[in-house]
């Protein structure tokens, strides 16, 4: 498994992508055909279950685009099953502490680094290369969402966790956690 998005990020290159928040397979195919660097399937606020996310991952990969999956939380089964769709990375919401960040990495990596199980799922099927398990831990992108004032207070500790590749700021939830009105607030 080679993750071209992760490689470009490591090289300090700019990347662009989009979010998929609709369960329209045709929209997914059109978006992937436009060849952004990645498409984030929104499994937190979007209408996706694991089965449909897997179909969308396949469509995105078919256009040489990197599929990512925002999962609804930092639970072991959710992260493992999310990556078993064949997604090249996961975005974990509400990472407010170092402990949650450590769990996000642990649940996203195969032993000895983590606890992700190896099975005859999509992730292995898409990577018939014998080196898949040897390289998967290095290629999976782990993105943590900083979207609460507690995460900002703990930011240095969160970012000190080995295996965190990207910290993504969720501005609306962060603003709300700070009691700051957003542009969409009708009282503003």
Give the residue numbers marked as catalytic. Answer: 45
CA distance 172 to 67: 24
108: nearest Cα among 139, 150, 145, 149: 139
Enumerate residues 6+ apart whose C-beta is below 8 A from 158: 95, 97, 98, 100, 101, 144, 146, 151, 164, 167
Sheet hosting strand 141-146, strand order edge to edge: 17-20, 38-42, 66-70, 89-92, 141-146, 166-169
């Amino acid at each position: 498994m080679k993750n071209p998005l992760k490689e470009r990020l490591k090289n300090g290159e700019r990347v662009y992508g989009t979010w998929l928040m609709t369960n329209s397979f045709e929209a997914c195919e059109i978006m992937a055909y436009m060849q952004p660097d990645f498409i984030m399937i929104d499994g937190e606020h979007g209408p996706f279950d694991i089965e449909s996310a897997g179909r969308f991952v396949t469509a995105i990969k078919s256009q040489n685009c990197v599929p990512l999956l925002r999962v609804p939380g930092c639970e072991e089964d959710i992260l493992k099953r999310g990556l078993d769709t064949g997604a090249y990375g996961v975005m974990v919401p509400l990472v407010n502490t170092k402990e949650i960040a450590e769990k996000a990495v642990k649940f996203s990596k195969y032993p000895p680094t983590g606890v992700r199980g190896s099975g005859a799922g999509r992730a292995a099927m898409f990577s018939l290369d014998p080196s898949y398990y040897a390289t998967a831990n290095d290629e999976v992108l782990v993105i943590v969402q900083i979207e609460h004032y507690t995460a900002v207070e703990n930011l240095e500790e969160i970012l000190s966790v080995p295996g965190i590749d990207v910290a993504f700021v969720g501005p609306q939830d962060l603003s709300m956690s700070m009691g700051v009105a957003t542009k969409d607030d009708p009282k503003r």
